[in-house]
Amino acid sequence: MSEPLIQIEQGRPAGDWTATKPEFRKGTFCHSAAAKNLQYLGLPNPREWQPFDLDWKLPADWKKIILDGFKERLGRFRSLRLFMDICVRCGACADKCHFYIGSGDPKNMPVLRAELMRSIYRRYFTATGKLFGSLAGGRELTEDVLKEWFYYFYQCTECRRCSVFCPYGIDTAEITMIGRELLNLVGVNINWITEPAANCYRTGNHLGIQPHGFKDSLEFAADELEEITGIRVDVPIAKKGAEILFVTPSADYFGTPHYYTLLGYLSLFHEIGLDYTFSAYASEGGNFGLFSSHEMMKRLNSKIYDEAKRLGVKWILGGECGHMWRVLHQYMDTMNGPADFLEVPVSPVTGTRFEHAKSTKMVHIAEFTADLIHNNKLKLDPSRNDKWKVTYHDSCNPARGMGLLEEPRYILKNVCNSFHEMPADTIREQTFCCGSGSGLGTDENLEMRLRGGYPRANAVRYVKEKHGVNLLTCICAIDKATLPTLLDYWVPGVEVAGVHELLGNALVMKGEKERVTNLRGEPLTEEPANSDGPEVVHA
């Protein structure tokens, strides 16, 4: 973005909303999926096309495919039929979506986003809609409607914030998921989702890292950690009979600042003598299937459990990831579970039995670590994080998708001396999305990402100005990948880190040498640079 400020004009639709068509303006939409990725995944209608093309090269019977798919899903998901029927248009959700707040586009109001699909439901699947058409709120399914679905269902991060405010509990994220699933049936998908999914099939992870690269990266991390701490840690891979399989997003092996979180995990596991293993086959915790179809989600999730069975572990520990946990918490039981071949997770250090994970057999690293701290099993020196004034971003999926609110805060309050919450209506269940989740964290839609992320950035700006906050922590790989760009634009001077990076800094390891740097290799006391972001104008 070269413009110094963004004008946001919010308002109601001018005239008949059904008559306005999406404008595929550069910076606001994602590129289509490459044919090779659809072929690799066995998805329909692989071809070269782009959203701004007039001809999307749809199959001749595309309309029948969509309507048949819609009908089948109305039968399969009772929630979908309910969400199609019960909205009373009260408007409580209208101003709760970060994309509406940041773009002002009325079709980014959750109620209107859902109406894009509801109007088709009425026309084709209700008696009044079949008889009275537009008089009953129905509309014809045309190619323009399909293009509108594509535009707006890929301007929804499936974050579920709107559902918190809906008196009927309508979950627009679920509607978006079905919308994307139907588009998939005719080969209308985005590359930022299909390529990571295809990579996951080819090499075990979204980034396409091959097993030898994965091994090199872990060994390099062990080398770096040795330089910082003086301690050589083990990085077991595919160790049969280990007690625990550890699965984390692949960005942790290569991305920045994710990599420092990995160093934190390695320090922790060494210090408590954990009997665990990484896996090259299950080297991805993230699941881009969540962003395209239930079928793809199931296929990708099953890799983790297949590997747990092959290695003969007792249970699974999962790293800092967002959507991995939404998949686990909301879908695993009925999708690939229950995982009866595994044991109910028990911490080998504290003896705590994680009863809530007795079906999935998978525990979140924040729960695991909070339990260690609570039982006084870790020696911590929070002053090693004194260069940071810290706030915490509740990543949408762990927060709203699984209710993981206290554990990350508990860890942070034990590993740093300066922690400040953002305003109450922007955190916990009401947290604002990063604006780039659900597979939208690509470059070509950067303007829309910055607009969608504006409410989150604005809350960060508040604590920066009030308390001098210079570090935004989170427990999601997509957040770690996309928040730095967002903050560089709106709140320069605030950096991004994982919770276990700060844990690793504070962790006093037995036999360590005197620490002079943090896990980033920076002097422990150096202040990061600070500056002000652009001004925002509401018109």
Catalog residues that contact ligand SF4 under the rule CB under 6 A.
87-93, 96-97, 99, 110-111, 113, 156-162, 166, 168, 170, 172-173, 176, 433
Give the nearer residue to ligand SF4 in terms of CB position, either 385 or 438. 438
Question: Among residues 239, 297, 292, 306, which one has the least CA distance to residue 269?
Answer: 239
Mutual angle of helices 258-272 and 477-490, in 10-degree steps: 140
539's enclosing H/E stretch is none
Q: Could you give the count of Cα atoms lying within 13 Å of 462 in the half-sphere of its Cβ?
A: 16
Give the nearer residue to ligand SF4 in terms of CB position, either 65 or 173. 173
CB of 343 to ligand SF4, least distance (A): 36
Give the nearer residue to ligand SF4 in terms of CB position, either 106 or 498. 106
CB of 314 to ligand SF4, least distance (A): 36
CB 482 within 8 A of CB 458: no
CB of 168 to ligand SF4, least distance (A): 5
Give the nearer residue to ligand SF4 in terms of CB position, either 56 or 153. 153
CA–CA dist 494, 500 (Å, integer): 18
CB of 116 to ligand SF4, least distance (A): 11
CA–CA dist 321, 343 (Å, integer): 23
Cis amide prior to 492 (ω within 30 degrees): no
CB of 233 to ligand SF4, least distance (A): 39
Find all residues with CB under 8 Å of 74, minimum gap 6, and list them: 80, 81, 84, 121, 125
CB 487 within 8 A of CB 472: yes
Question: Residue 472's beta-bridge partner residues?
Answer: 391, 496
CB 24 within 8 A of CB 151: yes
CB of 291 to ligand SF4, least distance (A): 12
Q: How many CB atoms lie within 10 A of CB 219?
A: 12
Helix, strand, coil percentages in the chain from 3-state DSSP, rounded to 5: 50, 5, 45
Give the nearer residue to ligand SF4 in terms of CB position, either 92 or 237. 92
Give the nearer residue to ligand SF4 in terms of CB position, either 362 or 422. 422
Give the nearer residue to ligand SF4 in terms of CB position, either 171 or 367. 171
CB of 9 to ligand SF4, least distance (A): 18
CB of 337 to ligand SF4, least distance (A): 25
Beta pairing class for 471-474 and 390-392:
parallel
CB 431 within 8 A of CB 400: yes
CA–CA dist 306, 286 (Å, integer): 16
